[in-house]
Amino acid sequence: MTLNRRQATLGLLAAAAAPAWAQEWTPAQPITILVGFAPGGSADQIARQLSFAAKGIFPVPVVVVNKAGAAGTIAAQQVAEAKADGYTLFVGGGSETTSVGHFKPLPYDPRKSFTPVIKVSRAPSILAVKADSKFADMKALLAEAKSAPEKVSYGSTGEGGIFHATGLVLEKQAGLKLLHVPYKGAADSMNALLGGQVDSAFGAYEEMKAMIDAGRVRPLALFSRSRLPALPNTPTMLELGVPVALDNMKGLMAPAGLPQPVARALHDGFRKAMQTPGWKEYVAKSGLTEDYAEGPAFQKEVVEAYDLIGKALAK
């Protein structure tokens, strides 16, 4: 046998001996997406809409399970400890992977314990008040907060969450002190705002859209680099002279060590889901800011956000 024929034969034998997932991966059981917040928030909406949009794309159901609490870290920990087989994902890229680790020790490494699969969206933090609030605008709220430390309260989706981090960065950059009131999710936080239990609340636009449209809450400011087309009259904090801009990313993440073919199959399937009419309709109606990226690019953004928040809080 010639050298070339021998090499070809060995190559064929090696290929035959390789595990099936080395060539391709097709799920054989339901895919679970964990959501670290209560039903009704942006993470929950995204997970459920992706689940609906993925019907017929994957040969198995995509199931959404809420594991609310601890600013999303309960769900994140469960995924970090799960088998890297493609069947357990969570909606990540927000507080559980960018901010909470700066407040307390975590049972996982936000930068190393996960395999980002696909980025779906980004959303600037919005500070809103009840429609009949005495604060006519953000300047009025800042003025009272400066004159009366810890008198003006704000609700967030959890201790150490991205909205809590945004509030702390605001305090540092504006030279004031607010009263933080954490909740288990956006729905609880917004209900507290409507009930008058807090003076203001942070959230994402898609979480507030229905209440803004109904005239029940008023957005005072955006914590982003540019205004939202949907809220053309709402200024950014940068415009108000306070350098605070933090986007809340959302995407799907799996445990670290996920085989590349599995990651690719999941990415491709959910990317197709994002191109369905149902998903596009959801984006249009909800006000979600779609911001697609592949896994590696998503990972880079998560690490950059983690480091940015750490530097801001360390000042």
Domains and CATH numbers, the chain: 30-122+248-314 (3.40.190.150), 124-223 (3.40.190.10)
Q: According to the model, what pLDDT value does residue 23 have? A: 62
pLDDT mean over 5-12: 48
Res. 6: pLDDT tops 60: no
In this predicted structure, what is the pLDDT of residue 211? Answer: 96
Q: Return the pLDDT at 315.
A: 66
- Give the other-Cβ count within 10 Å of 256's Cβ: 14
Whether residue 117 contacts residue 31, with contact meaning beta carbons closer than 8 Å, is answered with no
Given this model, what pLDDT does residue 248 score?
86
Instruction: Express each pLDDT in 191-201 by its tens digit.
Output: 999 999 999 99
Q: How many CB atoms lie within 10 A of CB 24?
A: 10
Whole-model pTM: value is: 0.79
> What are the pLDDT digits (tens) for 71-126?
899 999 999 999 999 999 999 999 999 999 999 999 999 999 999 999 999 888 89
Q: What is the pLDDT of residue 186?
A: 86
